[in-house]
Chain A
Amino acid sequence: MKRFWSWLARRRVVVQVTSALAINSYFTKHITSGLPCFALNCHACPAAAFACPIGTLQKFVVLRRVPFYVLGVVTLGGALVGRGSCGWFCPFGWFQDLLYKLPVPKVRLSNRFNWARYLVVAVLVVAMPFITYELWFCNLCPAGVLEGGIPVVLLDADLRALVGWFYWVKIAILAIFVAWSGVTRRPFCRWVCPLGALWSLFNPISTVRLAVDQGTCIQCDRCQEVCPVNIRVYEGANDLNCVRCLACVDVCPQGSVSVGAPKVEKR
């Protein structure tokens, strides 16, 4: 079984490309846009076939309605794979993975300020939209300008006339994350993404989980070297930051990291 997970981990990019194409497959958008996808994908993208869970969540906050449906979909994703969708299905996560491959000096940052993403959920996704009736996170989202803002402006000459100062503010936010992703792995996922923040709460109880055999682990830190979110897997296999990319399963020389559902042995 371990061989299968290693094989799958080496083909993660194939899943990421397929997912990005499926989420932005255009033709089914008039039916499937009623379904929030398992990724942060802006539905302003001309090809988007699904709704963005965070954009939708804010809309329900603005409408003063309890977002049962969206929270249900987000909880289902979290309960099944935790933050696995971030590592395997999110187009913006894949974009950051690609940028990190650029040959520029790398900086490894600790996870000390990762609580910032929970602040983003509380302030930009819930409190500010509730008070001001504006979708604050969408207004500042770099994924939105990449997937929605730029293509829409390029494709529609009428909308090009509406480009103002705020559009350039959004471009500047995107530029910051593009530059940061080149030197640090997945900065948006680690410090900002509200969807990742919601899913991270399910990492400790999700169906798909990691386990480390402490008896065979030699703490060589190879797992931390390849980890996109800088985790020492042997210190907490189901850490709140883990995006379940399975790179640690593939790289572990002892085969100590495994994937599986939680089981309790019967007496």
Chain B
Amino acid sequence: MDQMQNRTQKRLVVLGNRVALVLSVVAIVAGLYDHHWRTVLRHALKLCLSCIGLGV
């Protein structure tokens, strides 16, 4: 009984891992399709003064 429970638990872990990997790739592709890369780039290159405590 214990062995079967162990095996089921391991199967769930593997399944969860695979689902997370697939979802992450799908999300990245969806984001790239929606030009998120450019939004991230623009935001990262623009210096946010209030974020580093300046001008307040």
Contact = CB atoms under 8 A, between A and B. Distances in A.
A69 B40 contact: yes
B51 A73 contact: no
A135 to B, nearest CB: 6
Given A75-B20, A152-B52, A166-B53, A51 B40 contact: yes
Interface in B1-56: 7, 10-11, 13-14, 16-17, 20-21, 23-32, 34, 36-41, 43-45, 47-56
Contacts, number: 161
Contacts of A207: 17, 21
Contacts of B53: 139, 145, 149, 163-164, 166-171
- How would you classify the secondary structure of chain B's contact residues: helix, strand, loop or mixed? helix
A209 B30 CA distance: 28
Given A72-B26, A165-B56, A29 B45 contact: yes
A262 B12 CA distance: 10
Given A149-B54, A167-B56, A34 B40 contact: yes
Interface of A: 29-30, 33-36, 42-44, 48, 50-52, 55-56, 59-60, 63, 65, 67-73, 75-76, 78-80, 134-135, 138-139, 141, 144-145, 148-149, 152-153, 159, 162-171, 202, 204-207, 209, 262-265
